[in-house]
Amino acid sequence: MTSLVVTGLLILITAQGYNATAKVKVYEFQRTGVQSDSHLWYSGQPLTQPLRSVTVCARMKFFFLWEVSGFLQLSDDSSGTLIHTIQAEINLNYIRVTLGKFRRYHFLKERLRALTWHHLCVTFGNGVMISYLDGEEQDRHNGNLSDVITGTQLKVGSWDADKSYSGQLTQVNFWSRMLSADEVAAQANCEDTKEGDIVAWNGPWTAVGDVVASTESLEQLCADATGNDYYIFQDYTGPAAFKICKGLGGSVPTPKNEEQYQTIKTAIDTYEGAGGRICSPFWVGITDVENEGSWIQVTDNQRIHPKWSVAEPDGDILENCAVADGPRGFSDARCDDPNCVVCGVPRRPVWTLLGACERFNRNTHFIALQDENARFLFRGYSDYQIVKSEDTDKWIWWDWRKNETVASLPEPVNGAPIGRQTWKLLRPMCGVNAGQVRRLLLTPCGTGNFSCDDASCIPLFQRCDLKFDCKDKSDESGCQLVKFPPVYRPDLPPAINSNLKANESAPLPVSLYVIIESADVDTPSMHMHVNLNVSMTWQESRLNFLNLNEDYTLNRVPYETMKGIWVPVIDFTNTKGNHITQADTEATMVVNMLGKPSMGDNKEPEEYEVYAGPENPISVRRKYSITFQCQFDLKMYPFDVQYCHMELTMLSASNRLLVFDEAATDAIFEGNPNLVEYFVGNVAIEYLNDRDFAVMLVKLQLLRRSGFIIMNVYIPSLCLLVISYLTLYFTLTNFQVRVLASLTSLLVMATLFTQASSSLPKTSYFKMVDVWLLSSIFFIFLIIVVHTVVDRIREWELLPQALPSRSPPTRKGSISPTPLVKAADPTDDGAGSPEEKIPDVEETSPELRERHTIVLAVCQPTCPSDDCTSEGMPKKYIYEMIILVARILAFVILIFFNIVYWSLVSS
């Protein structure tokens, strides 16, 4: 499969006319950086006809950048006045292109690198201008040309002496049409070498001024940014060698075959030839310091089986590093021995100097290289160099254009100026006077990375994440989260960041998130004690935040910083005592990362991301334990639903400045909803932002758990009612039993009423439980009254019949009843009449009188005239009718009352 792909590529490249060994003309301008009007003059006729679509492409390698580095200019003087119709300039992060009066900045996704070939293209057509870097689209702008493009003069390499280009140029071509993205990519990758149909690179060109011509192959041009650069240093120990190479953005190479060894040896030969030094032996990137005999690569800790020289390794535990002293293999050596070190670094990393407060980014960018004398230095993109002084043997920051030393580094760590180190200033900088010291950072870390103190790189999101990622642990030091403006007053609320007109204002919305963790309701006192977490969130437009993390718990603001930040104050209004929100040691302040960051400037000696305050709100969370005063309506007790309000008032400012955010505010109950007396239902919020000070009401729904009252009040009272009712069916002669049972029920019912009333607030209105108990008491009372009335009427009706004559009449045709005989009297001789043997009714007990009356009523076949109706039927007594009516009426009242009562309860 691989061979087929390679064959296909070869066929495609051959078909497009690509020849890797083909030579192209290269022109070099201002190599030393001294500005002049050196340029190439196009000797042919640039434009034969006006253009409305155009493509301009060039391959370039810059040495230095100026404020305006113009490299191409097409002008028209046919009208007698020189008019620039096309102009192009480069800077570190953008290119600026002018087509007639259509001028736009095209910002690059990646920074341009010095001493590296880049391919730039700008196309225009159909009202769209598109820029490309190395075949990738960078930026585009819509616009129309006010005039067609014409030209009689074409300069390449400068506009004038002050706006000139320092570097190399090749393959400058003009097309009279808008090339497609694929065509531009083919040009950038050297797959298509077709030249422009308006201006072709093959000329004719005329060199003017400081211009040097040479040739290079297409292979060199297209592969220039790949591979490694090798930097060589003398007299470094093994650990120092590993650190310096890692700090340079590379590593100590370990040649694994003869080809790799020869590549390193070629770099060493160049170094030795330039400086007359000897670099043998040189360190290789392996060690067995952790486990004797187990050799690992320093870069990735992978085990390796190196190719050893004869009789090596022989150092046992004393020699834990290795050197290469020839093509035959490695030898182990003491790690503290000074040897030569070769650092393999990915080609031409961009070095940045942070903490210098430079106005232009080009002045903070450097490239590491070894000059023709094998002297290692950092050459700036513009006016500066960081070199080792031959006189003082110190590293200095040198302004070569002014021949002035900016700062010096007396004691560099590991002998190199890389990383975060303390420099002595020789001219004022960032508000620091000359003679004082300042921390500066020289780092190869690119965008999205953080530089450790030793110049090693870690991802920026690992900065201040509460764990050490740098070997020197510098990523967890100096973790500043909040960046204050020069003037900040924590006693004033921030203004809302909006697009309102100048004469308009809007209050700042503050959102609350209330989590009720537990609640305890005391009904008699009408109080509710709650434990709640209150989180307040708002936008602080006056602040910026640094290096936020997606995990908000890592964005916690220290208490010392929190004391200097404005925090809204909210009053818990309806509480026992005074309670307000606090931003104390028990509070937690975090910043929520919601917006996109921008990279910080070069004023601080570290990389950091800046998050704007309006896009990344602040939250303060704290736990409170507060007793709120509730207003209960107990009319339906114990079948009621109550609402206890928690009233929160904004105290920091009036509603003209601060209100509650209705869209983002919420309140929830997360505790056990089953309270002693209630079940917690819904939590609702009501906003009163129209008051002088904004108010928010959190309404907690409390559903009464009536099972306790039903079991302890209703069921016992209902049983007492039934018992009282059943006394209506007791024997009418047992008045004492009936009354005692009813009175006992009444007393127990009164006790229940007293107990129920003592556990409830004293109200001026009746509650449902009061209605039930009072009705029950009244019902039992009526039953007692009925018993009393019935007994009195019965005695009144039966008393005349209980006193009969000595010869009571008998019913016609009936058999006289056997007289009741007194108990035998020993003195009685048996004489006397039957009447004398009948006892005196008045002398007998009430029970005997009753039995006597019943016997007479049963045994006599006929009724006397006052005990029977006219038809001869037994007469109905009033007390019997009353008791019968009482039974029916009491039952109906009891059933009706329960139906009505429980219907009201359930409604």
- Predicted pLDDT of residue 871: 57
pTM: 0.72
List, for residues 542-569, the tens digit of each pLDDT value: 999 998 988 888 899 999 999 999 999 9
Which residues pair with residue 138 across a beta bridge? Answer: none
- Predicted pLDDT of residue 78: 80
CATH of domain 707-797: 1.20.58.390
Which residues pair with residue 513 across a beta bridge? Answer: 535, 666
- Own/partner long-range contacts of 377-384 (Cβ < 8 Å, ≥24 apart): 378/351, 378/417, 378/442, 379/114, 381/64, 381/65, 381/92, 381/114, 382/64, 382/65, 382/66, 384/353
DSSP string, 387-402: EE-TTT--EEEEETTT
CATH of domain 16-222: 2.60.120.200
Reference 802, options 737, 735, 733; nearest CA is 733
717: helix, strand or coil: helix
Rounded-to-integer distance, Cα 787 and Cα 403, Å: 127
Kindly give, in sequence order, each residue whose CB lies less than 8 Å from that of residue 162, ignoring residues fewer than 6 positions away.
Answer: 35, 66, 68
What does the block give as tokens for 857? 């009523």
List, for residues 365-405, the tens digit of each pLDDT value: 999 888 878 788 999 999 999 998 877 778 999 999 889 99
Question: HEC profile for 612-651?
Answer: EHHHCCEEEEEEEEEEEECCCCCCCCCCCEEEEEEEEEEC
Query: What is the number of helices (H) and of strands (E) in the chain?
Result: 13, 46
- Predicted pLDDT of residue 867: 53
DSSP string, 744-807: HHHHHHHHHHHHHHHTS---SS--HHHHHHHHHHHHHHHHHHHHHHHHHHHHHHHTTTTS--SS
Reference 172, options 30, 299, 71, 256; nearest CA is 71
DSSP 847: H
- Predicted pLDDT of residue 861: 47
DSSP 843: G
CATH superfamily to which 508-704 belongs: Neurotransmitter-gated ion-channel ligand-binding domain (2.70.170.10)
β-pairing, 449-451 vs 437-443, is: unpaired
Q: Is the peptide bond before 716 cis (omega within 30 degrees of 0)?
A: no
**Cβ atoms 98, 114 nearer than 8 A:** no
Q: Which residue has the tokens 């908000």?
A: 552
Estimate to the nearest angstrom the gap between the alpha carbon of 875 and the chain centroid.
94
Q: CB-side exposure of 461: number of CA atoms within 13 Å? A: 6
**Cβ atoms 85, 73 nearer than 8 A:** no
Which helix H or strand E contains 900, and what residues bound it?
helix 878-906
Top-level CATH class of 228-345? alpha beta
172: helix, strand or coil: strand
Q: Is the peptide bond before 204 cis (omega within 30 degrees of 0)?
A: yes
> Mean pLDDT, 10 residues at a time, over the chain (907 residues)?
34 42 88 90 80 92 92 87 90 90 88 90 92 93 84 91 93 92 91 89 90 88 79 89 86 88 88 80 91 89 88 86 85 91 86 90 89 85 89 87 91 87 93 92 89 90 89 89 92 71 72 95 92 95 91 91 95 93 94 91 89 94 95 89 94 93 94 91 94 95 89 90 90 86 91 84 85 91 90 79 49 42 44 43 50 49 51 68 89 92 87
- Predicted pLDDT of residue 349: 82
Cα 715–Cα 717–Cα 721 angle in degrees, nearest 5: 115
Rounded-to-integer distance, Cα 768 and Cα 719, Å: 18
As a residue count, the chain comes to 907
- Predicted pLDDT of residue 20: 56
Report CA-CA distances (Å) from 838 to 169, 779, 814, 824. Answer: 157, 46, 19, 12
Question: HEC profile for 672-702?
Answer: CCECCCEEEEEEEEEEECCCCCCEEEEEEEE
Report CA-CA distances (Å) from 852 to 833, 837, 839. Answer: 20, 14, 10
Cα 159–Cα 163–Cα 165 angle in degrees, nearest 5: 85
Cβ atoms < 10 Å from Cβ of 813: 7
Estimate to the nearest angstrom the gap between the alpha carbon of 62 and the chain centroid.
44
Cα distance between the two ends of the chain: 82
Reference 440, options 358, 318, 317; nearest CA is 358
Cβ atoms < 10 Å from Cβ of 824: 8
Domain boundaries, the chain: 16-222, 228-345, 349-444, 508-704, 707-797
Rounded-to-integer distance, Cα 859 and Cα 468, Å: 116
Rounded-to-integer distance, Cα 889 and Cα 635, Å: 29
Report CA-CA distances (Å) from 469 to 33, 435, 475, 477, 547. Answer: 41, 34, 7, 12, 15
What does the block give as tokens for 647? 């009233």
**Cβ atoms 545, 483 nearer than 8 A:** yes
